[in-house]
Amino acid sequence: MKNRLKDMRADHGWSQAVLADKLDVSRQTIISIENGKYDPSLPLAFKIARVFGQPIEAIFDDEGD
């Protein structure tokens, strides 16, 4: 699944570690999501959306899979 997580994180000036801390996940989880190697669970996707104040659809795109 494609996502804009890396760009959105950079726009906020957050490191992977900072975002991981905000989401209560490991930095490796953030790396895997950003690289498209891991699709977050629905609860985690909602949590990510809340942290960025965006709808899930603004962050994740399942088109092309």
Q: Distance between CA atoms of 12 and 38, rounded to whole angstroms?
A: 22
pLDDT at 40: 97
Q: Distance between CA atoms of 51 and 40, rounded to whole angstroms?
A: 14
Q: Distance between CA atoms of 13 and 46, rounded to whole angstroms?
A: 21
Residues 6+ apart with CB under 8 A from 32: 38
pLDDT at 5: 97
pLDDT at 64: 56
Q: What is the pLDDT along the chain (65 residues), one digit of tens a residue?
A: 899 999 999 999 999 999 999 999 999 999 999 999 999 999 999 999 999 999 999 999 987 54
